[in-house]
Amino acid sequence: MTNLLDPHAPATSPRTVDEPPAPYGDVTRSDAAFRAFLHGLPGVDQVGAEARTTVLASRSIKTTAKAWAIDTAISMVDLTTLEGADTPGTVRSLAAKARRPDPGDATCPQVAAVCVYGDLAGVAREALAGTGIHVAAVATAFPSGRASREVKLADVKDAVANGADEIDMVIDRGAFLTGRYLDVYEEVVAVREACGDAHLKVILETGELVTLDNVRRASWLAMLAGADFVKTSTGKVSPAATLPVCLVMLEAVRDFRAATGRQIGVKPAGGIRTTKDAVRHLVLVHETAGPDWLSPDWFRFGASSLLNDLLLQRQKLRTGHYSGPDHVTVD
C-alpha cells in the first residue's frame, strides 16, 4: 500500500506521496489497489477544517486588496446558465455580459468562461469568437450522471464538436460510494480521451459524498484519471461549495502537485453568491494551495448571480456609493 508521509502535518504543509496508482505508478489497476491508496490518505479532521475556514473567513481585507480581489474574482467566473428553458437568445445574452460585464466601465475584466448545455455550445462559441473567453459545456448525463458510458461519451463528443473547449463531467457517485473506484477511474479516463484538446473539469457532487474524507478520496481519484480541474458541485444539490469542502480540495491539488509535478485547478460551484463569499475563497486559495492558484487558469467560480454582486461592489469602490440592482443586467 502506498503511504503518505507525515499524516499529522498541519493544513498549511504539503504532504508527499510515493508511487500513487496508475497512470503515475505501476500499481495494478484494481478496486483493491485504489481502495488501499485512497483509504491510506490522511483522514480529514472535520472540526479542524471548519475551525480553519472560520478563522480565514474572518480576515479583514484592505480597500486596495479588495479591489484586486473583486477584479480577480470576476476574471475567474464561469458565467453559467443550465436551465431546461435555455434558448440561443439566452446564451447570446449571457455571452454579451461575459464580454462586457459592466458596459459602463471598459476597465472591468471579462469572465473566464460561459458554461451551457452541450447543444448550445455552438451558439456560445459563435457569440464569443475572438474574445478568449472559454466555452464550457456540462456533459455525461449532467447532473445525475445516470446513463450508460456509451451515452456519456457521445454527450462529451457532441459538446466538443459543437464548440466547447472545456467539459464539465459528473462522476458516478453511486459507483464511488459503493467502492467501485476502478469504474469511476476508467470512466474519467474515457471522458478525458473523448475530450480531445478540451480541458476536463470533474464534478464530484460533494453534497452527496457525505464526508470530507470522501471529498479528498474523490479528488485524488479524479486527478489520477486525468482531470484538469476538480469541481465541487453541479449546483443542483445542497450543500454545494462550502469552505471546508473547498479547503480539502485545495489541499488535495497542492499535495498532488508535490507528488507528481502536475498542477490541477479547482472550481467551487453552487451557493457562492456574494463578494464576501468570493473573497473568502480567494483567501482560502492563497493560504492553502498558494498564489500559483490565484489565476483563472487554476481557479474558477461556477456562478451567475455572483457576478452581479461583484459588479455592484466594484461600482461602490469606484464611485463611493452603491448602485441599485437595476444597474446590472439580470442573468
Map residue 210 onto helix, strand or coil.
coil
User: pLDDT digit string (tens) for 198-208?
Assistant: 999 999 999 99
Map residue 177 onto helix, strand or coil.
helix
DSSP assignment string, 91-152: HHHHHHHHH-SSTT-TTSPP-SEEEEEGGGHHHHHHHTTTS--EEEEE-SSTTTT-S-HHHH
How far is residue 254 from each of residues 127, 153, 209, 264, 293, measured CA to CA in Å?
Answer: 35, 29, 21, 8, 9
Can you tell me the distance from the alpha carbon of 38 to that of 21, in angstroms, rounded to the nearest whole number? 10
267 is catalytic: yes
User: pLDDT digit string (tens) for 39-66?
Assistant: 999 999 999 999 999 999 998 888 889 9
What pLDDT is recorded for position 14? 52
Can you tell me the distance from the alpha carbon of 34 to that of 316, in angstroms, rounded to the nearest whole number? 50
Range with lowest mean pLDDT among 52-61, 179-188, 244-253, 293-302: 52-61
CATH class of the domain whose range is 31-62+134-303: alpha beta
Q: Which of 102, 155, 165, 168 is catalytic?
A: 168
Residue by residue, what is the 3-state secondary structure of 16-75? CECCCCCCCCCCCCCHHHHHHHHCCCCCCCHHHHHHHHHHHHCCCCCHHHHHHHHHHHHH
pLDDT higher than 90, residue 4 = no
pLDDT higher than 60, residue 161 = yes
168 is catalytic: yes
The pLDDT confidence band at residue 325, using thresholds 50, 70 and 90, is low
Task: List the domain boundaries for the chain.
Answer: 31-62+134-303
pLDDT higher than 90, residue 268 = yes
User: pLDDT digit string (tens) for 287-313?
Assistant: 999 999 999 999 999 988 999 999 999
Computed over every residue of the chain, the mean pLDDT equals 91
Q: Which of 97, 201, 231, 255 is catalytic?
A: 231
119 is catalytic: no
User: pLDDT digit string (tens) for 67-113?
Assistant: 999 999 999 999 999 999 999 999 999 999 999 999 999 999 999 99
Q: Which of 228, 255, 267, 277 is catalytic?
A: 267
pTM of the model: 0.90
How far is residue 177 from each of residues 28, 166, 174, 204, 215, measured CA to CA in Å?
Answer: 21, 26, 5, 11, 11
pLDDT higher than 60, residue 22 = no
